[in-house]
Amino acid sequence: MTYKLPDASDFPGPNNADRGPVVLCILDGVGLGLRDGGDAVFQANTPTLDRLFAGAMAIQLKAHGTAVGLPSDGDMGNSEVGHNALGAGRIIAQGAKLVAAAFQDASAFGETWQWLTQSGTLHLLGLLSDGGVHSHIDHLLRILEQADREGIERVRIHLLSDGRDVSARSVLGYIQALEQALGEVNEGDRDYRIASGGGRMNITMDRYEADWPMVQRGWNTHVLGEGRRFESATQAVETLYAEDPKINDQYLPAFVIQEDGEPIGVVQEGDGMLLFNFRGDRALEFSSVAQGQDTPVDRRGAPTFRFAGIMQYDGDLKIPARYLVEPPQIDATVGHYLAANGRRSFVVSETQKFGHVTFFFNGNRSGKLDDALEEYVEVPSDVVPFEQAPAMKALEITQAAIGAIASGQWDHVRLNIANGDMVGHSGDLAATITAMEVVDSCVADLEAAVVKAGGVLLVTADHGNADDMWMRDKQNQPKMDGESILPKTSHTLAPVPFAIVDPHARWELSETPEPGLANVSATLLLLCGLQPPTDYLPSLLQVRS
């Protein structure tokens, strides 16, 4: 496929001496919420964002549900699908939708499933919630149903508690639903049980190689059966809650279920293990270890076992080699078109979101699209709870971007500032307000740099999060625990902002029906002097009349 595009000379970028780069600043997790006491975006002192988002060159974009390829408009957006949409220019069916369809028509249970379940115990590992961002409990229940139907006698479940895409302390409800389903299956000649668990931000689900010890702890827990022992998952969670009233499900310590003093879910030679998370970023590292690749994790003499993912998490690296459902196929991204047409791109974020502005933005592809035309800069994230350091690496990211803007070397600069999402997931309202004030300061500095360079600045977000830090009832009133409001740690259904800083005053907003994140792609190409492809959703901008 050729990615050549006709030129659009309205804004050719720094190839023209008086034009700076087109800068796309993605404020991760910054939605437009209810503007009340639980809205950290509204509560924060953010004069720059307030001015930009209330200006004549600002609109709201859809960032959840069907607008980003999810099954329904009740599904929250997330960073993966948001960056896919920003880079793809079209609405692409995402993992949750693809997996649900493959389970409905049973196409998921083909050759890989038969290979995985041919002998031994079937181990099922994944995030236990209905958040729909990394996994869904309905998928797990469907897998159990199929295993029972096919006569698989022994299943062990290794659960990861969420507390991030769902309520902070909600895992007991999901365990209860799972235990009920297991009880019904076990009335027959089956032995299906929960074997281990722990919080998603404590074990197993690291990403971008930020904290390999997380993966080591997960390996020890799920595969080797090492960890603090309990008689049941319910007992484990209740005990851990009681011991630390402030802990939420994200950070629960690892636990192992025992019977007669022995762990019940140690992986044995010839067993099969399925990772039922469909999102790739937090599944890649464990998958790499499980299929025997060279990683910092010590497998510690673990036996050989068959491993598959519910999807393939990285098509370039072939991780995992075996999977049940074909992942989204995204070609012809903004990155492809920029590189093929000689536009030079500088991309920067910190570790926690680095893969989002590279891998996901580029259609789930590892590495650069063109070494000669692209520079990717990763600022290492601190390995601390984000509410304890709410500035994260926003200042360092911003300074790197400003350096690129001032250099005159780049047609396009792309950055992700992660604070609204990563601190927002903590549920700490005060810390998230602080985080948003840091973000505002960074955007002010970026704006000044872009104006000085004669460029164009686009400010948007990938989904909501910091815009609502309160759990709410159906009337949007805060839910209470005694005299305290229950904190919200998950994403939201809020629209996100889109604002343009255009010192040349060449552009105005176009009449775009139901604009969403995917419309940003054509906008970016047009500003970089390229006519967008005909299959892209239309640009949010047009030349000023």
pLDDT along the chain (545 residues), means of 10: 87 71 98 97 98 97 96 92 97 92 96 97 98 95 97 98 94 98 94 98 94 97 98 98 96 98 97 96 95 94 95 88 92 97 97 96 94 98 95 98 97 98 96 98 98 96 97 91 91 97 93 96 96 97 89
- Under CATH, which architecture does the 13-93+330-471+499-543 domain have? 3-Layer(aba) Sandwich (3.40)
Confidence (pLDDT) at 14: 67
Confidence (pLDDT) at 156: 98
Report the alpha-carbon distance of residue 514 to residue 486 in Å, rounded. 33
Confidence (pLDDT) at 208: 84
**Amino acid occupying residue 344:** R
Sheet (strand 412-417) strand order: 58-61, 496-501, 456-460, 22-27, 412-417, 345-350, 374-379
Q: Rounded to two decimals, what is the model's pTM?
A: 0.87
Name the DSSP class of 357: I
CA angle, 240 then 245 then 248, to 5°: 70
Domain boundaries 96-325, corresponding CATH code: 3.40.1450.10
**Among this protein's residues, is 79 annotated catalytic?**
yes
Q: Check 79, 135, 161, 539 and give the catalytic one.
A: 79
Q: Tokens at residue 406, please? A: 């001032």
Confidence (pLDDT) at 13: 67
Confidence (pLDDT) at 314: 86
Confidence (pLDDT) at 15: 62
**Contact (Cβ atoms closer than 8 angstroms) between residue 296 and residue 80:** no
Hey, where are the domains in the chain?
13-93+330-471+499-543, 96-325
